[in-house]
Structure 1
Amino acid sequence: MLYYIKKYLVATVVFSFATAQILCAQNLASYVNPFIGASTSTADAGVYHGLGKTFPGATTPYGMVQVSPNTITGGDNGSGYSYEQTSIEGFAFTQMSGIGWYGDLGNFLVMPTTGKLKTKAGTIAHPEGGYRSLYSKPSEKASAGYYSTLLTDYNIKAEMTAAPHCGMLRFTFPQNKLSRIQIDLARRVGGTSTLQYVKVVDAYTIEGWMKCTPNGGGWGNGDGHADYTVYFYTKFNKPLKDYGVWSADIPDGWVRKREEVGSDKYQEKVANAAVLPGVKEKQGKHLGFYTQFATKANEQVLMKSGVSFVSIAGAKNNLLAEIKDWDFDVAHQRAVALWDKALSKVSIHGGTTDQKKVFYTALYHTMIDPRIISDVDGKYPGGDGKARQSSAFNKRTIFSGWDVFRSQMPLQTIINPSLVNDLVNSMVTLADQKQKNYFERWELLNAYSGCMLGNPMTSVLADAYAKGIRNYDVNKAYALSVGSVEKFGNGEKGYAPGSIGIAQTLEYAYNEWCVAQLAGWLKHPADEQKYAARSLSYKNIFDQEKGWFRPKDESGKWVAWPDSGRMTQWYGTFETNPYQQGWFVPQDVDGMVQLMGGKEKVIADLNNLFAKTPDNMMWNDYYNHANEPVHHVPFLYNRLCEPWLTQKWTREICRRAYKNSVEGLVGNEDVGQMSAWYVLAATGLHPVCPGDTRQEITSPVFDKVTLKLDPKYAKGKAFTIVAKGNSAKNVYIQSARLNGKAYSKCYLDYKDIAAGGMLELTMGAEPNKNWGIN
């Protein structure tokens, strides 16, 4: 009998533990705070780049749809939302996350209203001039897969949730004889859609499209070349009886970019748009659709819409596949379940509630892009403008290359390698379809934005290949890497001349190293030798007299050294000064150190860089965590045999640069990069040089972190890092054990992680200067 009692008790304990694990996994979405970083405020940031620029609306992991409040259309407000702004102009179905350069998307803007129909949005300064509404800040709620607020001008509660290709809105109206849902089909962040079409299909359904070209501004105010069409298929749960279209008469010769669209002249045309009741089908330059009805007090009216970048039929299929009924709460629960599953790829124990919220919100932000652009049937818009079909991979878009090659994509190689594989396939096929022999640098909806510098896909490809992620046309991918560094590289000169020559030369040298690595693995010895030599071209712009990197002109002469020397912003650099940019030689740290005068001098210089960084870590001239070029710098101490300083400073950055607040990101979130840095550093791992499988060990924020591995790409099921005795004071690694055996290195190889197992770290309040130095 005792045996059975013991067996029952053991089984109960095991069951309870398993249940607790499941409950824990199911509740991870509750730690997500989408308001972290949701501000574009330049005043709070102290620099024109602004803060995080995230959006607080509802989305799903890597989903095509993001249903989010929009408070602003113009300016450098890529997410369309800024927390400190007091009125909302509507709820759009597409958004970008954490970007500058004026932004794009923000399409299909839905607004519930009452009273007289207004056809323009109005402004932040004068919201009463349009259909936008003030909203109750205390009423505003955001969580993974959900957003709601009270529009106080209309006394309407707005709620939204999302599926991968669809969105659903629930509006709770007051008693009113003239309630309404209106959709601004022309609206676009940073500009306007240039042509729209809408058709009433039946008593509950509309469909149509919105064409967005560079002539309508958008990404880089049109300089980003974004050219896409958003298709929609929309259903209402209240019949369309009193409906119509508004159409603004925009003259043919008018420029339709950001400044012009926001001008009084243009907005007057929109305000005086012709209202056309009962029109069932319309194409035009500036259209909107409305449906009006009487409502009882607290009556709920719902609408749902499928979105596609391929066709109306695709949008319809997406909606019918993902949101079949009108149960908003069930749709919300499905979105939360998708987030719980995605976030369960990393489990953490220990830390404060705020630290958990910062961590899982960071992980959440890494799971927005590169988003899917394929419909449920696998169709996607090709780079040649034709509809394409894929069953081999999910077509993805929004590759913020210069940002994400540093942390975001290395993180995904561990927890989501299939995404990395999708991205490589997406970029290879895009080049094919556009008949280009190089990779796009910063891709948005098949457009090459011309934004930033370097050849970041060479890094992503080299890192993927090194880690065994190879389910794509390897030979084509390699050829595109070669084409990339030949088109954008240091070439025969051995440096990049011009106003940003330091940044370009250093980044190109790293990219050429990536190609050399690929050439070696793929048995192209001549290429390997050629690009390995070019990877050392960073030495060609180091001025021994000044003791630092310095730009050269076309003839090879030094550009005049400024009075403030290497502290001069934009002196040969991009968004940085040479002091910050000069550390970017990840492919040859030893060579860099020798060039800079040796280990002791370099350590002293790094110590100075960190010592003079402001406590709040906002934009500054020293360690500027708000901008990507320095993101590898704290880990250089590992390479300099002083790993305790890597441990010290990564913990400091995690504490000072990431908080559970709207201002909780010190700079633009940058499509997952800023957040991925935190996820990796807080886990206790981060690379210096993607393409090299060495992963630096640092001080974990949490007592235990488990990374779930993909069995298609890794031998192990999970890799766990345990930090014994971890605390806010005990930030230094005293000793380590890897799978039960003493471990004295301050780094792991990727294969150690992929094999599964456990790294145990014993922590203490003082550095152990004997650990990790061999």
Structure 2
Amino acid sequence: MTNNKRAGFVALSGKKCFTVLLTAALTFGVAGLKAQTPAAYVNPFIGATTNADEAGVYHGLGKTFPGATTPYGMVQISPNTITGGDNGPGYSFEHTSIEGFAMTQMSGIGWYGDLGNFLVMPTAGKMYTIAGKLDGSMKGYRSQYDKKSEKASAGYYSALLTDHNIKAEMTAAQHSGMLRFTFPQGTDSRIQIDLARRVGGTSTLQYVKVVNDHTIEGWMKCTPDGGGWGNGDGHADYTVYFYAEFSKPLKDFGVWSANIPDDWSRKLDDVTGKKYLDRVAEAEVLKGATEKQGKHLGFYTQFATRANEQVLLKTGISFVSIAGAKNNLNTEIKDWNFDALHQKAIALWNKALSKASVQGGTPDQKTVFYTALYHTMIDPRIISDVDGRYPGGDGKTHQTANFNKRTIFSGWDVFRSQMPLQTIINPGLVNDEINSLVTLAQEKKMDYLERWEIMNAYSGCMIGNPAVSVIADAYTKGIRNYNVPEAYRLAVGSVEKFGNGDKGFSGGDISISLTLEYAYTDWCTGQLAKWLGKTADAAKYSQRGQAYKNVFDTEKGWYRPKDDNGNWKAWPDSARTKQWYGTIESNPYQQGWFVPQDVKGMAQMMGGNAKTIADLNNFFEKAPNNMMWNDYYNHSNEPVHHVPFLYNRLGAPWLTQKWTREICRRAYLNSVDGLVGNEDVGQMSAWYVLAASGLHPVCPGDTRQEITSPVFNKVVLRLDPKYAKGQTFTITALKNSAANVYIQSAKLNGRAYNKCYLDFKDIAAGGTLELTMGSKPNKNWGI
């Protein structure tokens, strides 16, 4: 979960409204499936809400977006209902009006959000230059929409805008997209494009030019002064270039331009405040203007329409240049065939989603699985153009031929499940991401790796050194098509800059979280050093990996934060379950299990395996049935995601089997509130894909993969021949059912197998793991 500061507002609709609307979320095309393709099971509405009331905590729920995109594509065309704060994806299902459809979105994040650029809205009648307010207190081009008409599927979104009876549809290619609007008869139909739009703030400077009677081009510059990621504290600084063509000729068109004083602040609260919106509402409308640069611009084209006339807009974007945006569009969308483009998007999704296929399970379970897999394929997205050009961290344009430049690396979240999943089914993507992080550090002349990268920004969001974990995990699994010496140098630079060092602990307000996470990535660095033959470094960093012991108070029997001088901080009542006591977005009870590199040593410190298992049982049993945010096993947030698999390491694998099945059943649903916490750029969903398949690591950087109880009767993971010897790895579960959750026996490639884990090389070699299931634990298997 991205570290959020509450932004002063939450979702406006309460539980009652949310519940009423919930049933409409299932109108997405899976009902009455004709072709049982993976893409047909995808329900993009799963998690598509920021509703803090429903979640019971300001972090909200899934925060996914329902719009059209392609696997790891640069473009995501999605409805926007509100901006910023804890509404990072720009959309929340319970909202009843839409302000427009933006070309770029983020998935499952807080911290004010970002992107949401090039906001397109079809309108009619009086023209407004502001979207207006969700609560109706300010009028604008925002429109109510018919929730029953709203549909979303892989590569497609549509809704009926009821204010003017306009149907909006959208589909996407990797670097471009197309919108199709069906208008009623009218003389003042219109398409408006808000060029200043940005989730979490505003773009600070825009430019637009009319190229010919069907085309416009330009750019939107987004700087920290305009808010965005972390309301500017995340340092996101990027320019979106666009090249857009209209199917209907530009005859009656123009630009609106708001005069924003130089001394006005333009962070989120400013640009959503009445003073700023009043100024935009009074923007000068420059009818017939063919070129304009300004601080708050929009473009419109107005025309007459016949009843049910379709008007289309196709747009290419680039983060390099207008020429790049034009080339992206002309390469990917050569005509005006919306339906053909939609079918291409579906084909891309079917190919991507076929990397993991399932048999058995209920229709809802299959929908949850394939939608989870879909959500793991949003980021890290491509930021390079079709010709391989990309914006570098030095502000210059770079060319890549041997990897795809990627962005949106939510490191603190995704090192746990998302990137380990990709090492199996998309190792080339992992290779791309490491290349992207290493070259970014070189371009910015940094000697360490960014922990939460967005659009080349070293945002510094969250804690730890997650990129080091990703590199260690990739290297040990044979993913090494990057500059290994440079990756190692940067890993060392990272843990030296951000770490426990020779002191052996980190002090301060989040002492426990820092010490434990730094100890883990020190261990990862030690592993890299060992594999690279750097004996002294291997000993040094492996020893630092034991620093977790230095914040364990034997008198209290648990972890306790220290100040910078090494003195214990005061021990409050209910210290283990006190949120933010020495921890970040957690409590000591939740964070304290994070010793993946030395589970044996952790258990000894806690009083032995039996005592540790008893404490874990308490941890799980006190979690609420709905798995929403709580002080015990809190699946809503990342620090505990490895914890169910600790039982395998402690000699009670049947409890891993029990609890992973329970979590899959209780925390993942085929509904809008089907994710109990923020999606966090693929992490929440990747956990499900792995656990429901029957595999999950405790410790990325270690090749051991824990075996657990699969949700499905058969799971086939397709391997990449460039990285693996085998073609597929299959997990079958005989006699599997909702009651038969316990593994009775196992065979690996036809031979009896009595370990509760696999080595990664067993997966990469291809083959079959056959599990026989039963309703009662077999406490002799896997010990």
Same fold (TM over 0.5): yes
| Residue 560 of structure 1 pairs with residue 570 of structure 2 | yes
Q: Which residue of 2 aligns with 1:494?
A: 504
| Residue 394 of structure 1 pairs with residue 437 of structure 2 | no
Q: Which residue of 1 aligns with 2:622?
A: 612
SS, match of residue 181 in structure 2: strand
Deviations 1:166-208 (A, max 9, x none): 0100000000100000000001001000000000000000000
**2:282, 2:726 → 1: CA distance?**
64
Q: Which amino acid aligns with 1:189?
A: V
Deviations 1:349-380 (A, max 9, x none): 00000000000000000000000000000000
**2:164, 2:509 → 1: CA distance?**
52
| Residue 586 of structure 1 pairs with residue 588 of structure 2 | no
**1:753, 1:532 → 2: CA distance?**
27
**1:37, 1:565 → 2: CA distance?**
32
| Residue 456 of structure 1 pairs with residue 466 of structure 2 | yes
**2:419, 2:38 → 1: CA distance?**
22
Deviations 1:486-543 (A, max 9, x none): 0000012100110001000000000000000000000111111110110000001100
Q: Which residue of 2 aligns with 1:756?
A: 766
Q: Which amino acid aligns with 2:256?
A: W
**1:139, 1:239 → 2: CA distance?**
29
Q: Which amino acid aligns with 2:93?
A: Y
Q: Which residue of 1 aligns with 2:292?
A: 282
Cα distance, 1:26 vs structure 2: 7.4
Indicate if the aligned counterparts of 1:127 and 1:133 stay in contact, CA closer than 8 A. Answer: no
Indicate if the aligned counterparts of 1:657 and 1:665 stay in contact, CA closer than 8 A. Answer: yes
| Residue 421 of structure 1 pairs with residue 431 of structure 2 | yes
**1:722, 1:199 → 2: CA distance?**
58
Q: Which residue of 2 aligns with 1:228?
A: 238
Cα 1:25–1:598 change in 2 (3 A) is farther
Q: 1:685 aligns with which of 681, 692, 695?
A: 695
SS, match of residue 503 in structure 2: coil
Q: Which amino acid aligns with 1:348?
A: V
| Residue 106 of structure 1 pairs with residue 116 of structure 2 | yes
**1:212, 1:684 → 2: CA distance?**
43
Deviations 1:400-451 (A, max 9, x none): 0000000000000000000000000000000000000000010000001121
Deviations 1:94-123 (A, max 9, x none): 000000101000000000000111000101
SS, match of residue 135 in structure 1: strand
| Residue 132 of structure 1 pairs with residue 138 of structure 2 | no
Correspondence list, 1:462-611, <5 A: 462-611=472-621
| Residue 707 of structure 1 pairs with residue 702 of structure 2 | no
Percent of aligned pairs sharing the same letter: 77
Indicate if the aligned counterparts of 1:87 and 1:127 stay in contact, CA closer than 8 A. Answer: no
Unmatched 5+ stretches in structure 1: 1-22
Indicate if the aligned counterparts of 2:377 and 2:682 stay in contact, CA closer than 8 A. Answer: yes
**1:701, 1:27 → 2: CA distance?**
19
Cα distance, 1:128 vs structure 2: 6.2
**1:280, 1:481 → 2: CA distance?**
50
Deviations 1:127-172 (A, max 9, x none): 7601000000000000000000000001000000000000100000
Q: Which amino acid aligns with 1:117?
A: M
Deviations 1:9-46 (A, max 9, x none): xxxxxxxxxxxxxx999711000000000000000000
Runs of 4+, deviation exceeding 4 Å: 23-26
Q: Which amino acid aligns with 2:257?
A: S
Q: Which amino acid aligns with 1:539?
A: K
**1:606, 1:74 → 2: CA distance?**
37
SS, match of residue 530 in structure 1: helix
Indicate if the aligned counterparts of 1:59 and 1:144 stay in contact, CA closer than 8 A. Answer: yes
| Residue 245 of structure 1 pairs with residue 255 of structure 2 | yes
Indicate if the aligned counterparts of 2:85 and 2:110 stay in contact, CA closer than 8 A. Answer: no
Indicate if the aligned counterparts of 1:428 and 1:476 stay in contact, CA closer than 8 A. Answer: yes
Q: 1:352 aligns with which of 355, 358, 362?
A: 362
| Residue 254 of structure 1 pairs with residue 269 of structure 2 | no
SS, match of residue 374 in structure 1: coil
| Residue 216 of structure 1 pairs with residue 226 of structure 2 | yes
Unmatched 5+ stretches in structure 2: 1-32
SS, match of residue 136 in structure 1: strand
Q: Which residue of 2 aligns with 1:291?
A: 301
**1:104, 1:383 → 2: CA distance?**
18
Indicate if the aligned counterparts of 1:25 and 1:340 stay in contact, CA closer than 8 A. Answer: no
**1:407, 1:442 → 2: CA distance?**
16
**1:75, 1:607 → 2: CA distance?**
36
**1:129, 1:182 → 2: CA distance?**
15
- What TM-score, normalized by structure 1, do the two folds share? 0.97
Q: 1:200 aligns with which of 198, 210, 228?
A: 210
SS, match of residue 660 in structure 2: helix
Indicate if the aligned counterparts of 1:25 and 1:341 stay in contact, CA closer than 8 A. Answer: no
Q: Which amino acid aligns with 2:769?
A: L
Correspondence list, 1:281-360, <5 A: 281-360=291-370
Indicate if the aligned counterparts of 1:76 and 1:190 stay in contact, CA closer than 8 A. Answer: no
Cα 1:109–1:145 change in 2 (3 A) is same
Q: Which residue of 1 aligns with 2:132?
A: 122
**2:576, 2:458 → 1: CA distance?**
32
Q: Which residue of 1 aligns with 2:378?
A: 368
**1:446, 1:606 → 2: CA distance?**
40
**1:213, 1:32 → 2: CA distance?**
35
Q: 2:648 aligns with which of 635, 638, 645?
A: 638
Q: Which residue of 1 aligns with 2:420?
A: 410
**1:128, 1:216 → 2: CA distance?**
22
Q: 2:152 aligns with which of 139, 142, 162?
A: 142
Cα distance, 1:565 vs structure 2: 1.5
Q: Which residue of 2 aligns with 1:3?
A: none
Cα distance, 1:563 vs structure 2: 1.4
Q: Which amino acid aligns with 1:505?
A: T
Q: Which amino acid aligns with 1:302?
A: L
Cα 1:155–1:24 change in 2 (3 A) is closer
Cα distance, 1:74 vs structure 2: 3.3
SS, match of residue 712 in structure 2: coil
Cα distance, 1:604 vs structure 2: 0.5
Indicate if the aligned counterparts of 1:149 and 1:157 stay in contact, CA closer than 8 A. Answer: yes
Q: 2:388 aligns with which of 358, 378, 392?
A: 378
Cα 1:127–1:723 change in 2 (3 A) is farther
Q: Which amino acid aligns with 1:264?
A: K
Deviations 1:260-280 (A, max 9, x none): 101110000000000000000
| Residue 765 of structure 1 pairs with residue 775 of structure 2 | yes
Q: 1:664 aligns with which of 657, 674, 686?
A: 674
Q: 1:175 aligns with which of 174, 185, 192?
A: 185
**1:448, 1:37 → 2: CA distance?**
28
**1:128, 1:534 → 2: CA distance?**
57
**1:224, 1:142 → 2: CA distance?**
31
Cα distance, 1:347 vs structure 2: 1.0
Decide which moves more: 155-164 or 523-532: 523-532
SS, match of residue 131 in structure 2: coil
Q: 1:30 aligns with which of 31, 40, 52?
A: 40
Indicate if the aligned counterparts of 1:59 and 1:66 stay in contact, CA closer than 8 A. Answer: yes
Cα 1:631–1:739 change in 2 (3 A) is same
SS, match of residue 502 in structure 2: coil
Indicate if the aligned counterparts of 2:84 and 2:113 stay in contact, CA closer than 8 A. Answer: no
The alignment of Structure 1 onto Structure 2 pairs a total of residues equal to 751
Q: Which amino acid aligns with 1:640?
A: L
